[in-house]
Structure 1
Amino acid sequence: MPYISVEEDQVELYYEDVGEGVPVLFIHGVWMSSRFFKNQTEHFRKDHRIILLDMRGHGQSAKVHHGHTVANYARDLHSFIEKMELKNVVLVGWSMGAFVVWDYLQQFGDDNVKGTVIVDELASDFKWEDFPSGTFDFPTLIHLMREVQNNRVGFLTEFIPLMFKEELDPKDFNWMLEETTKLPESVASAILFDQTVVDYRDQFKNIKVPTLLCFGRAEKLIPVEAGVFLNEHIENSHLVVFEDSCHCPFLEEAEVFNEVVTEFVQSL
């Protein structure tokens, strides 16, 4: 299995790399993994180079207990891109992955980024005084942190179905539960906290690369209004709403999602 050591601490990250052409790099959400993009590989490898990456601690990457902040994940991503000698990449960030993309642009600029795809994420997950549309207030965050520590499987059993508009097939639920419990609880709560309190509203004015915004119509987790906000504040962005999806259009409407993203990549 392919692994690569990144950053100064030489943490091994798992990745998959197939196809040729423009590199399209997919970055998963918090606690998730590259396995969630299983419906993208065959489609994108036909005309592009598709790369799926597990962030440190997630999926099949090394289960280290340090470095679990969005900013450090962005540094891992930068190290990965440099070591793989990738040029003019398209970064696809889903949920927390969107934060990793925005932090990457904030730290390293867009010289090597051809475009970005943001899938179902807010400017910040936290309900700040001047940003009431965030998902979590402080009492909710405290509750989630404690659930991760004391009742993770019970919590995920309720949370995972919220990512989907339709009822989840038990087989799909089982592999998703398996993926989301691969992280140690200490890591799971650490990155949950950091990814909840990051805030990229001030960063949007600096984003100039073409941006595709993909949001699900079903609002169990993230409102479509979040996509409208991004569309209004990120120059050169385009919003697409997936009518039969919630948080995971790449799984719920894989064929449509793949075509929309392919069209965007080819337009760059």
Structure 2
Amino acid sequence: MPKIELESGVELYYDDQGEGTPVIFIHGVWMSRKFFHNQLPYFSQTQRAITIDLRGHGDSAQVTEGHTISTYAKDLHAFITKLDLKDVVLVGWSMGAFVIWEYLQQFGEANVRGTVIVDELASDFKWPDFPIGAFDLPTLTHFMREVQDNREGFLKGFIPLMFKEDVAPEEMAWMLEETMKPTSGVASAILFDQSVVDYRSTFPSLTKPTLLCFGKAEKLIPVAAGEHLKESIANSELILFEESCHCPFLEETELFNKEVSNFINTL
């Protein structure tokens, strides 16, 4: 299991398979690179497929500091620089989308060939001028308290909200194991930061092709979020996955892999 030590001293674990265009898959809050286990074997046939555990997540270093989207984007930049990756395609699911937008905001688009955004909003927060946000303050406060006081029970209720269909017990087991890996302090710190970032002002500067992949089932993120992104980001295309909720790469793996692969081939 390869790992890389960043200049900050933080070790990140990752998987790196295949040759060609580097395609980096970035997971959501509390999740890990293992959620992309159906993508590695497929994309590594024609591209260099890379999955990464962000700091404090998955198998990566359980450091207690730096749990902001801003720092995660700096980690991603350091990772890309250390591996000397050129013309990358960034695939961000949920919070991973925020990491991509923050990366582009901080470091520009020069080394990015295109982006894939999977089921995320411009901001998760319901701002006065952004009613489609996922959380209001009472909900966010409740989530943060549950993470501290009732974490396993909370996750057992939260994980099924990511899927259109019922989650099989064996699937729930590994997902629960992965999402329990961040410490509770880290889990609540990054939950807060990723819930209040807002990238609406960043979108006008984006020029690289963007594929937007959204699940049709609206347990967590509304389809309106994808439509808003399509209107806000130039050179973007929206695909709706009829049998998916928050995880089309797991729920409709074959179709997701095909659509993303076709998009990469057009870049």
- TM-score normalised by length of structure 1: 0.99
- Equivalents in 1 of 2:58, 2:14: separation in Å? 10
For 2:207, the equivalent position in structure 1 comes to 208
Residue 262 (str. 1) matches residue 261 (str. 2): yes
Secondary structure of 1:218's match? coil
- Equivalents in 1 of 2:19, 2:98: separation in Å? 27
For 1:3, the equivalent position in structure 2 comes to 3
For 1:175, the equivalent position in structure 2 comes to 174
- Equivalents in 2 of 1:55, 1:19: separation in Å? 21
Q: Which runs of 4+ in 1 moved over 2 A?
A: none
For 1:116, the equivalent position in structure 2 comes to 115
Residue 75 (str. 1) matches residue 74 (str. 2): yes
Alignment of 1:1-268 (within 5 A): 1-6=1-6, 8-268=7-267
Secondary structure of 1:127's match? coil
Secondary structure of 1:66's match? coil
What's the offset of the Cα at 1:146?
0.4
What's the offset of the Cα at 1:217?
0.2
Q: Any stretches of 5+ residues in structure 1 without a counterpart? A: none
Q: Alpha-carbon deviations, 1:165-212, whole Å to 9, x = none?
A: 001110000000000000100000000000000000000001100000
- Equivalents in 1 of 2:173, 2:112: separation in Å? 35
Q: Alpha-carbon deviations, 1:132-168, whole Å to 9, x = none?
A: 1101111111111100000000100100000000011
Q: Alpha-carbon deviations, 1:35-90, whole Å to 9, x = none?
A: 00000011101100000000000000000000000010000000000000000000
- Equivalents in 1 of 2:148, 2:39: separation in Å? 33
Count the aligned residue pairs: 267
Percent identity over paired residues = 66
- Equivalents in 1 of 2:186, 2:11: separation in Å? 16
What's the offset of the Cα at 1:5?
1.1
- Equivalents in 1 of 2:102, 2:120: separation in Å? 14
- Equivalents in 1 of 2:140, 2:44: separation in Å? 39
Output the amino acid matched with 1:2: P
Secondary structure of 2:98's match? helix
Output the amino acid matched with 2:74: R
What's the offset of the Cα at 1:9?
2.0
- TM-score normalised by length of structure 2: 0.99
Output the amino acid matched with 1:107: Q
- Equivalents in 2 of 1:122, 1:83: separation in Å? 30
Cα RMSD over matched residues? 0.5
Output the amino acid matched with 2:75: D
Q: Any stretches of 5+ residues in structure 2 without a counterpart? A: none
- Equivalents in 2 of 1:141, 1:169: separation in Å? 27
- Equivalents in 2 of 1:210, 1:56: separation in Å? 28
What's the offset of the Cα at 1:232?
0.3
